[in-house]
Structure 1
């Protein structure tokens, strides 16, 4: 279900990094029955920010089902914890940049 409000971590990543990143990302992109937090068609990549609900048994099972579905379409799924966004934002940005560059080089 689409949310009207981004989480604090999604806002931070969007406004302080992805919004002006050279490779275009969209927020809350509907893909099949799923909604990606951030999606780049150019890099064929999804960035998911994971809160505590993703670390429960049920959350892990749902994430695996979702990842399996999306990977069938050639999409790379990057999962980042909210804790990492809060505690190591610069490291998260470096990691995303590395993964985007890697994805683009594999596509070319």
Structure 2
């Protein structure tokens, strides 16, 4: 039997909670990603393996992660690297942006996402 990788049932309540409590930078970016504004559908708080990805575009196999302050303390950078390696092993490309980038340079962030999508698949 093939092991399920996307949206594992045990994580459903956590994914729902995260969608309901999105930080401001995630809300800003979601307003620019939703409704296929970039030509493809994005999902928010999408489960892949044991990870929950901020935004995922299945058509392009593209994950977008926003890094807040917690991503720069303790062992977080190593955990992020491990997450990226796992996603890459599933042929998923990862783009990372800081919350500050989203807050101050939203158009540039959206431009980078669109540019990446244009050269994928």
- With normalisation by structure 1, the TM-score equals 0.90
Per-residue CA shift, 1:68-87, capped at 9, x if unaligned?
A: 11110100000010000011
1:85 is matched with: 102
Aligned residues: 103
Q: Please tell me whether Structure 1 or Structure 2 has the larger radius of gyration of its CA atoms.
A: 2
Tell me how far apart the structure 2 counterparts of residues 19 and 53 of structure 1 sit (CA, whole Å): 26
Q: Could you say what the CA RMSD is over the residues aligned between the two structures, in angstroms?
A: 1.0
Structure 2 residue matching 1:80: 3-state secondary structure: strand
Tell me how far apart the structure 1 counterparts of residues 82 and 68 of structure 2 sit (CA, whole Å): 17
Tell me how far apart the structure 2 counterparts of residues 55 and 100 of structure 1 sit (CA, whole Å): 27
Tell me how far apart the structure 1 counterparts of residues 100 and 119 of structure 2 sit (CA, whole Å): 24
Give unpaired runs (5+ residues) of structure 1.
Answer: none
The structure 1 segments of at least 4 consecutive aligned residues displaced by more than 2 Å after TM superposition are none
Structure 2 residue matching 1:64: 3-state secondary structure: helix
1:8 is matched with: 24
- With normalisation by structure 2, the TM-score equals 0.81
